[in-house]
């Protein structure tokens, strides 16, 4: 079982930020990634629809023999984590809890901002998870739907992007937050711009790192870590291939993409 791959899915290629971190932190592990590009974006869809797509994505990865699953998509983690965890017997991780814990450890003022897609923000999962761990924490949320197309288009800085960032994030700045959870796969790509909007007063939380730390300790605890010498495999499957997939995918992964297999 130990040599089996870790499964990661996302609505698209944004979840490759999590894969990048797995490859850094757990370089011996094989990875199978599924990007549900045919149904992207999840962030504007209903919870029921996101649950259906998430179950289908998980089924696909289970058939690939995965030993554990990371739901890299915040919208799926919000709508479908409990359902997926109940339905399948392998360990399943969402990106929400690790980001919540990281932010609570970082915030001195107890004022945490959360940004994400409409689906994630409307689900209220971050507020619930933060308040469950610390009822005194003040949470301020904001959906930023235009951030996803900006990143996909490669508009990572410049006037339009600055204006959009300012428009969405000014209300959070007025609340005096000192920590901001980037609750969407795409937002870490805008981290430099978001950081320069807030200045050093606000610390940004990217869920990839704490999620992979948690994955590593979970695999260790369940004796699922691969400790052999075989070269790790890294496969990417998607349900569609849009025109600019290579450019977008490599931006998230931070290295050349392996050949992508399209499954219908």
Catalytic residue set? 73, 184
Q: Which CB atom, from 120 or from 161, has the smaller least distance to ligand DGL?
A: 120
User: Distance (Å, rounded) from C-alpha 20 to C-alpha 10?
Assistant: 14
Q: How far is the CB of 240 from ligand DGL (least distance, A)?
A: 13
Q: Which of residues 45-104 bind ligand DGL (CB under 6 A)?
A: 73-75
Q: Which CB atom, from 144 or from 172, has the smaller least distance to ligand DGL?
A: 144
Q: Which of residues 2-41 bind ligand DGL (CB under 6 A)?
A: 10-12, 14, 40-41
Q: How far is the CB of 118 from ligand DGL (least distance, A)?
A: 9
Helix axes 16-25, 245-253, angle to 10 degrees: 40
Q: Which stretch binds ligand DGL (CB under 6 A): 53-61, 82-90, 184-192, 232-240?
A: 184-192
Q: Which of residues 105-134 bind ligand DGL (CB under 6 A)?
A: 117, 120
Q: How far is the CB of 252 from ligand DGL (least distance, A)?
A: 10
Q: How far is the CB of 226 from ligand DGL (least distance, A)?
A: 27
Q: Which CB atom, from 22 or from 40, has the smaller least distance to ligand DGL?
A: 40
Q: How many residues form the binding site for ligand DGL (CB under 6 A)?
A: 17
Choice from 184, 194, 236, 248 touching ligand DGL (CB under 6 A): 184
Choice from 9, 42, 168, 226 touching ligand DGL (CB under 6 A): 42
Q: Which CB atom, from 58 or from 74, has the smaller least distance to ligand DGL?
A: 74
| Residue nearest ligand DGL (C-beta atom) | 43
Q: Which CB atom, from 107 or from 120, has the smaller least distance to ligand DGL?
A: 120
Q: How far is the CB of 52 from ligand DGL (least distance, A)?
A: 14
Q: How far apart are the first and last CA of the chain?
A: 28
Q: Which CB atom, from 75 or from 179, has the smaller least distance to ligand DGL?
A: 75
Helix axes 191-198, 159-174, angle to 10 degrees: 50
Q: Which residues pair with 93 in a beta bridge?
A: 70
C-alpha dist (Å) from residue 26 to 72, 155, 169, 212, 227: 16, 31, 34, 8, 10
Query: Is there binding between residue 143 and ligand DGL (CB under 6 A)?
Result: no
Positions touching ligand DGL (CB under 6 A) are 10-12, 14, 40-43, 73-75, 117, 120, 148, 184-186
């Amino acid at each position: 079982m130990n040599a089996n791959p870790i499964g990661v899915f996302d609505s698209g290629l944004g979840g490759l930020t999590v894969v990048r971190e797995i490859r850094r932190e757990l370089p011996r592990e094989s990875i199978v990634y599924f990007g549900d590009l045919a149904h992207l974006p999840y962030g504007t869809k209903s919870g029921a629809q996101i649950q259906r797509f998430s179950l289908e994505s998980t089924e696909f990865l289970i058939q690939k023999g995965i030993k554990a699953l990371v739901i890299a998509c915040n919208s799926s983690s919000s709508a479908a984590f409990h359902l997926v965890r109940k339905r399948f017997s392998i360990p399943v991780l969402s990106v929400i809890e690790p980001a919540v814990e990281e932010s609570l450890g970082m915030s001195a003022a107890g004022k945490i901002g959360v940004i994400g897609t409409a689906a994630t923000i409307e689900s209220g999962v971050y507020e619930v998870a933060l308040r469950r761990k610390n009822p005194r924490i003040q949470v301020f949320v904001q959906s930023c739907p235009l951030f996803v197309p900006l990143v996909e288009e490669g508009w990572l800085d410049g006037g339009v992007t600055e204006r959009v960032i300012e428009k969405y994030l000014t209300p959070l700045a007025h609340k005096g937050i000192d920590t901001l959870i980037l609750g969407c796969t795409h937002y870490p790509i805008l981290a430099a711009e978001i950081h320069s909007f807030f200045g050093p007063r606000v610390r940004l939380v990217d869920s990839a790192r704490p999620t992979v730390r948690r994955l590593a300790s979970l695999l260790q605890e369940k004796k699922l870590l691969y400790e052999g010498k075989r070269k790790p495999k890294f496969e990417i499957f998607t349900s569609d291939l849009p025109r600019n997939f290579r450019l977008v995918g490599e931006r998230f992964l931070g290295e050349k993409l392996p050949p992508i297999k399209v499954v219908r």
